[in-house]
Structure 1
Amino acid sequence: MKKITLLFLLSIQMFFAQNYTEYLTGNATDITTNHKAGICLMGGAGEQDDAMKWFLNQADGGDVVVLRASGDDGYNNYFYTSLGVTINSVRTFVIDDALGAVDPYVLEKVANAEAIWFAGGDQYDYVQYFKDNAMEDALNTFINTKQGVIGGTSAGMAILGSAYFTAQYGSLTSPVALSNPYHPRAALGYNDFLEIPFMENVITDSHFADRDREGRISVFMARYSKDNNKRSFGIACNEYTAICVDEDGKASVFGDYPAYPEFAYFLQSNCVADYLPETIEKFQPITWNRGGEAIKVYKVPGTASGTNYFDLTDWETGSGGTWEDWSIEDGVFTAVAGTNPMCGTLSTPEFESFSVELYPNPVSDRLFLKSKTPVKSIKIYSILGKEFSAKMLNNETIDVTPLSSGLYVLKLYSETSEQVYKFIKR
């Protein structure tokens, strides 16, 4: 009888056991602040303090939640005291499994945060624990409705693009990927996890030049373009380098250049008609050459002030960086000096423009326009070309309520003319 009772008690204890560990530093009472949206991408190996200060300042003194699947409270004192930025609290959750991720208490704290940080580790843990459940919903609501700042380092950075390397079957080296772009280890997810403004059709990578991952991300982009029939984009960081993207899409690069080779890389498949890889099949070395210009790359040195930047609203405007052309021929990767693809200039339609006044911008629900020329139709696109349904309530009002937060391109058409505008949906 005692054995039966003991087994029963053990089973009850296991049933109620938490599937996470919590570490709290600071005030346990939630507060609300005038936080700002943003993204912080960290290359791994160590935090870049100036970028971390930027990340915390976006929270405007609010609450920071750190999500991780291994480790302990290493970020708590670092965020709360070491950087000199006042915040209300840092709360780390070490999540053991999917049950821990969807625990109501954990979800409540995620919803109440002003900033969320993903630690390094194994990104497949995050994919297993956070995807296709209530945690995924909570994160996307935080990003797009609450518009808090989000970021991550190493594995935490790897999950922040709309496309992502899952690491389900372990890590992947450039030589293996280049020799077989559909190798089982080249496991990718497409547009089914986090929905982050400015990260559509983007795949991220960390520990970049330090681990010779240029070939690997090139294969990831080739795969994305081939599998989805779309131009692909990539963002990568060397170790100790960080990219901070503000609510307007300006990606500032932080690091300690020229003392160290701390660079960020902004990659895009060339904006030409034939941009797809020439050869991309199982068990064969990849060829993605396209005249030596298959991938256009803006390479940006990181500085303590984050002065150098790249504009993710057009993928062609930047400061402080240099352009490179990357290509692959029969599994051999090449990088040479290159030129700006000027995709926006090349793709401008041959229409006359007409004068339109558009307001408010940023907008929450309705855009109003004034034009002497009648507007016959409209189209709305994401900054990377995805078209969204658009509804004109009348000749002067456009309903943008269904759109998620982010930057959009609005095209207005008259009988003979076209005008293009950018607007921000809050």
Structure 2
Amino acid sequence: MGGSTDVDEAFEWMIDRSGGGDFVVIRATGTDAYNDYIYNLGKVNSVETIIITSIEMANKPSIESKIKNAEALFIAGGDQWDYVKFWKNTKVEDAINYLINTRHVPVGGTSAGCAILGHVYFSAQYGTVTSSQALNNPYDRRVTLGRDDFIDIPILQQTITDTHYDNPDRKGRHTVFLARMVQDWSMNAKGIGVEEETAVCIDANNIATVFGYGNGTAFFLQKTDLGPEVCQPNTKLTWNRNSQAVKIYKIENALNGNGSFNLNDWSTASGGTWSYFWVNEGIFHEE
């Protein structure tokens, strides 16, 4: 989910696929406000929020056990650097990946909780970075990317998520993240950008559907044939490639779900429109 107002229908989608068992929410700050909210959305056995605020807590066997036994897991919003510094390389990380890859239960997140779900992620180690800052210097110290060392969702390999896509506009910085993935690691870089009040739900066949309110949109980004023309420290990004640097598919949300996007091939899609992002000397453009 892209942040702001939670999307009831996305939680209902998770509950339906959980079998009505134990629903666990994890976070590093905040309250247990999700408990009553989720409990009232559908038939679940229980809802519990676990606030994990240190490496020591993240390595507690009791917390690991609660996560491993969940039938659905949701990562709340907050500061993703808290999640990286407290949870990476701990029993919590192991438990999350166990749910994803062994038990195959629904796992999701909103805002910062969504930002860490890709195999590549913006860690926010030095705070957030704006599109303008990133476009003017793709190697700004705030452009901190992790890769292949945290949450392991296989279908999101070489993929980075971004949220609050419309408030503020984060399309530019997301394009920079993809440029860095190509420049630094020669990846076939892909991304999923989610506007507020919007949720991307990916089923067991890796087909994404977009839920939400208020005409929000989800964006599926992929590099085209060539990487950036100019991507180096202290220099404005240029990634033009005949105004077709990054191919995107846009799907507007709907209360009961809209569109489909096949993450197996990143080409089979319906209910949306194809377009492009590109950058000239630090200026972001969208078709």
Q: State the TM-score bracket (shorter-chain normalisation).
A: over 0.9
Q: How does 1:385-396 map to 2 (within 5 A)?
A: none
The reply to whether residue 335 of structure 1 matches residue 282 of structure 2 is no
Output the aligned Cα RMSD: 0.8
Q: Which secondary structure state, in structure 2, belongs to the residue aligned with residue 129 of structure 1?
A: helix
Q: Which secondary structure state, in structure 1, belongs to the residue aligned with residue 82 of structure 2?
A: helix
| Greater shift in the superposed pair: 235-244 or 133-142 | 133-142
Q: Deviations over 1:126-181 (max 9, x none)?
A: 00111112221221111101111100000000000000000010011000000000
- How does the TM-score come out when normalised to structure 2? 0.98
Unmatched runs of 5 consecutive residues or more in structure 1 = 1-41, 337-426
Q: Give the C-alpha shift of residue 210 in structure 1.
A: 2.1
Identity among equivalent positions (%) equals 45
Amino acid in the other structure paired with 2:265: D
27, 43, 51: which one aligns with 1:68: 27
The reply to whether residue 47 of structure 1 matches residue 2 of structure 2 is no
**Partners of 2:28 and 2:187 in 1: how far apart?**
33
Q: Which secondary structure state, in structure 2, belongs to the residue aligned with residue 207 of structure 1?
A: coil
Counterpart residue number, 2:67: 110
Q: Give the C-alpha shift of residue 307 in structure 1.
A: 3.0
Structure with bigger gyration radius: 1
Q: Give the C-alpha shift of residue 255 in structure 1.
A: 1.7
247, 253, 259: which one aligns with 1:308: 259
Q: Deviations over 1:346-393 (max 9, x none)?
A: xxxxxxxxxxxxxxxxxxxxxxxxxxxxxxxxxxxxxxxxxxxxxxxx
Amino acid in the other structure paired with 2:275: E
**Partners of 1:226 and 1:285 in 2: how far apart?**
14
Q: Deviations over 1:13-64 (max 9, x none)?
A: xxxxxxxxxxxxxxxxxxxxxxxxxxxxx01001111111001111111111
Q: Decide whether the 8 Å contact of 2:215 with 2:254 is kept in 1.
A: no
The reply to whether residue 57 of structure 1 matches residue 57 of structure 2 is no
The reply to whether residue 186 of structure 1 matches residue 140 of structure 2 is no
Q: Give the C-alpha shift of residue 287 in structure 1.
A: 0.5
Counterpart residue number, 1:268: 222
**Partners of 1:59 and 1:97 in 2: how far apart?**
28
Q: How does 1:133-152 map to 2 (within 5 A)?
A: 133-152=90-109
- How does the TM-score come out when normalised to structure 1? 0.67
Q: Which secondary structure state, in structure 1, belongs to the residue aligned with residue 248 of structure 2?
A: strand
105, 112, 116: which one aligns with 1:155: 112
Q: Which secondary structure state, in structure 1, belongs to the residue aligned with residue 24 of structure 2?
A: strand
Counterpart residue number, 2:241: 290
**Partners of 1:120 and 1:137 in 2: how far apart?**
20
Counterpart residue number, 1:324: 275
The runs of 4+ residues in structure 1 deviating greater than 6 Å are: none
Q: Which secondary structure state, in structure 2, belongs to the residue aligned with residue 219 of structure 1?
A: helix
**Partners of 1:98 and 1:56 in 2: how far apart?**
29
**Partners of 2:93 and 2:130 in 1: how far apart?**
29
**Partners of 1:86 and 1:208 in 2: how far apart?**
32
**Partners of 2:275 and 2:33 in 1: how far apart?**
38
**Partners of 1:114 and 1:237 in 2: how far apart?**
25
**Partners of 1:103 and 1:268 in 2: how far apart?**
39
Amino acid in the other structure paired with 1:269: K
Counterpart residue number, 1:206: 163
Query: Relative CO higher for 1 or 2, CA cutoff 8 Å, sep ≥ 6?
Result: 2
Amino acid in the other structure paired with 2:95: A
Amino acid in the other structure paired with 1:124: W
**Partners of 1:242 and 1:142 in 2: how far apart?**
20
Unmatched runs of 5 consecutive residues or more in structure 2 = none
Amino acid in the other structure paired with 1:57: D
**Partners of 1:117 and 1:208 in 2: how far apart?**
20
Q: Decide whether the 8 Å contact of 2:9 with 2:255 is kept in 1.
A: yes
Q: Which secondary structure state, in structure 2, belongs to the residue aligned with residue 198 of structure 1?
A: helix
**Partners of 1:248 and 1:191 in 2: how far apart?**
22
**Partners of 2:30 and 2:100 in 1: how far apart?**
25
Q: Give the C-alpha shift of residue 107 in structure 1.
A: 0.4
Q: Which secondary structure state, in structure 1, belongs to the residue aligned with residue 13 of structure 2?
A: helix
Amino acid in the other structure paired with 1:237: V
**Partners of 1:153 and 1:99 in 2: how far apart?**
24
